[in-house]
Amino acid sequence: MATDGMSFYGYALLLLAGAVIAAPLAKRVGLGTVLGYLAAGIIIGPIMRLITSGERILHFAELGVVFLLFIIGLELKPSRLWSLRREIFGLGLTQVMLTGLVLMAAVVAFDRQTVSAAAIIGYGLALSSTAFALQILEERGERSTEYGQRAFSILLFQDLAIVPILALVPLLTPFSADSDGDPIKDFAIALAAIGFLVLVGKYLLNPIFQLIASTGAREAMIAAALLVVLGAASLMEYAGLSMAMGSFLAGVLLAESSYRHELEADIEPFRGILLALFFMAVGLSLEIDVIVKNILLISVSVPLLMVAKSAIVYALCRVFGSAHNDSIRIAGLLPQSGEFGFVIFTAAAAAGIFSNATASLLIAIVTVSMALTPLASTLANRLLRDGGREQLEETFEGAGSDVLMIGFSRFGQIVSQTLLAGGSEVTIIDHSADRIRSATKFGFKIYFGDGTRRNVLQAAGVERAKLVAVCTHEKATTDKIVDVLQSEFPAAKIFARAYDRAHTLSLRERGIEYELRETLESSFVFSRETLNALGLDPQRVQAILDETRRRDEERLQIQAVEGIYAGGDMLHVKPVTPEPLIKPRKEAERLDIDQSAPSTE
């Protein structure tokens, strides 16, 4: 039984009910699921007092952050991680050091704390919430954006920084000379644990998973996945590092494993529910009485803290080369203090660096800042400047299929669905960040890239593709892609979307395998339904359509031979004279000429 008289089954029922009710409601009104989970925790805990042991649940729910970082690690190959070293150890290190110093100075100046206490408070508050920030990026589908990768790099270094900050606690403890700790020994243990994890990940995990998979025991694979995550996290915790860092390292070591996708699928349900539980536990742990007693101090300190962190993050991002909009997005994503602050301040209070009352006040400030994160991120977006296309990172891991599709607008979306339904593998590249985010939410795997560039086409697997479907909607873009394909990859079989009649003739002159005007077939379908609705006999309707299609093709051939098209504007052409099926004849001729009008789609 729990300390508040409720069984753990009762806990589970309450928390699940809170999640089921609060998350959809918050999502519906545009607040995001994170704020919904927080609100559910506050209502169940501090307000209604149905659960009074939120700290115990929070300690368990931190496994949600552990699983989250494992999944992130699975998506980052070591080479990919190495490519982020400048952001991690440049931008991340500078942010932690500068923010910690500024906050430390503010604490000394305004709260009259000792230098030791101010150092722990300043650097504890300098760390942001990995769970909140990454969840917001996931919900928006923006983790692959350039700003998302940069924000993740800062968070990753902050997770690393928890180790030296916690190491400062015994060193700054009053009378710490009596401590039995040995810094050199602790460092050696941490280094040995990392080395052991690297060796196990490189030489043992794949054979173990292969052996389990050969038995066909699905539940054993799930158990093995959980064992890897929790085992790595526990090893790092024993070595004095964070559990989250251990699980992240395990994920990175398995990023190139052939079982990566299966591991991700096995862990994902646990990650989702435990991360939701973490946010609810933060709400459960909120000490309303501390907030009420110090309402004025918290009302002033939380906005000042968030503004100061945002200003520092924005300035550093600009120094490190981020555009204004990306810098604003990162600053709006990382203004809060994070979940590791709970650990740091609790440890410092236990060591006597400051009082338990101060620790409770700091934890309340951290919690309130986390709760305000979705609002801060939304407000930051109002400072974005118009213009300038948002850039995603060009990464083509896993690319290469039978069909390479370039462009994912309305035309490409329909074509891709039919190809996938037919069992074909399709690699899709597009240059619109908004379109990629939207498509990702519906399960499409799309790569960010400019299809007019040779290196992008090569990275996307053009040499492996059986055909290339150019589905871009701008004539100039399509022509440029076709030119690059024919000059750099002459063996490529090209199927292209044509803009209008003139574009069709231009593409045919280039000698591509197939082209189709974007409105041709939809016009025939519309015509068929219209004629049917007017009461014409179905056989006559089909005959009219067949004749119209034949005459259209004959005119195209004549125009191609005589070269009577220029710049997309059709010239008046004497029509072919077939058996008239549509009367009056002059009306039919007018309709033929009107097909040259520019498309507005």
pLDDT tens digits, 511-540? 999 999 888 888 888 888 898 898 999 899
Q: Give the residue with greater pLDDT, 590 vs 299.
A: 299
Host H or E run for residue 446: strand 446-448
Residue 566 pLDDT > 50: no
**Distances in whole angstroms, Cα of residue 292 to Cα of each of 253, 297, 363, 538:** 47, 10, 14, 77
Give the global pTM: 0.57
pLDDT value for 585: 39
Number of separate helices (H) and strands (E) present in the chain: 29, 8
| pLDDT value at 338 more than 80 | yes
Higher-confidence residue of 234 and 241: namely 234
Helices 146-172/183-203 angle, 10° precision = 140
Of 333 and 66, the one with more pLDDT = 333
More confident residue, 222 or 262: 222
Given a cut of 60, is residue 181 above it in pLDDT?
A: no
* Residue 234 vs residues 197, 209, 347: alpha-carbon distances, Å: 11, 20, 19
Interval 398-415 mean pLDDT: 82
Q: Of 166-170, 436-440, 481-485, 539-543, where does mean pLDDT reach its minimum?
A: 436-440
Q: Mean pLDDT in the chain?
A: 80
Query: What pLDDT, on the 0 to 100 scale, is given for residue 5?
Result: 59
Q: For position 525, what pLDDT does the model report?
A: 86
pLDDT at 341: 82
Report d(CA 402, CA 495) in Å as an integer: 13
pLDDT of the residue at 98? 96
- State the pLDDT at residue 126: 95
Contacts of 510 (CB under 8 A, 6+ apart): 482, 486
Of the chain, the percentage scoring pLDDT greater than 70 comes to 84
List 508's β-bridge partners, or say none: none
Q: Bridge-partner residues for 498, per DSSP? A: 517
The single-letter DSSP state of residue 177 is: G
Residue % of the chain over a pLDDT of 90: 16
Q: Which residues of 408-417 are buried (b: 16+ CB within 10 A; e: fewer)?
A: bbebbbebbe
Task: Give residue 12's pLDDT.
Answer: 83
pLDDT, one tens digit per residue, over 364-404 is 898 889 888 888 888 888 888 765 455 555 555 556 678 89
When pLDDT is cut at 50, 70 and 90, the band that residue 103 belongs to is very high
pLDDT of 36 reads: 82
pLDDT of residue 494: 94
Residue 333: pLDDT above 90?
Answer: yes
Instruction: Report pLDDT for 312.
Output: 96
Residue 88 pLDDT > 70, yes or no?
yes
Residue 578 confidence (pLDDT):
40
> pLDDT at position 485, please?
93
The pLDDT assigned to 584 comes to 39
In this predicted model, what pLDDT tens digit does every residue of 418-458 receive, in sequence order? 888 888 888 888 877 667 766 765 656 678 777 888 878 88
Residues 310, 455: Cα–Cα separation, whole Å: 37
pLDDT at 597: 40
Q: Please report the domains of the chain, with CATH numbers, ordered by start residue.
A: 58-381 (1.20.1530.20), 403-518 (3.40.50.720), 523-594 (no CATH)
Which has the higher per-residue pLDDT, 565 or 63? Answer: 63
Q: How confident is the model at residue 202 (pLDDT cuts 50, 70, 90)?
A: confident
Give the residue among 462, 502, 459 at the shortest CA–CA distance from 479: 502
- Find which of 302-311, 374-383, 461-470 is predicted with most confidence, using mean pLDDT: 302-311
Mean pLDDT throughout 349-376? 83
For residue 400, the model assigns a pLDDT of 65
Largest CA distance in the chain: 107
Q: Kindly tell me if the per-residue pLDDT of 469 is higher than 90.
A: yes
pLDDT given at position 191: 82
Tokens representing residue 342 in the block: 């709970």
pLDDT reading at 290 higher than 90? no
Cβ atoms of 297 and 275 closer than 8 Å: no
Contact 305, 287 (CB under 8 A): no
pLDDT higher for 360 or 100?
Answer: 100
Average pLDDT of span 212-218: 80
Say what the pLDDT of residue 90 is.
92
Lowest-pLDDT range, 63-72, 94-103, 411-420, 580-589?
580-589
**pLDDT, tens only, 114-141:** 888 999 999 999 999 887 888 788 777 6
CB 391 within 8 A of CB 145: yes
Q: And the tokens for 560?
A: 């191609």
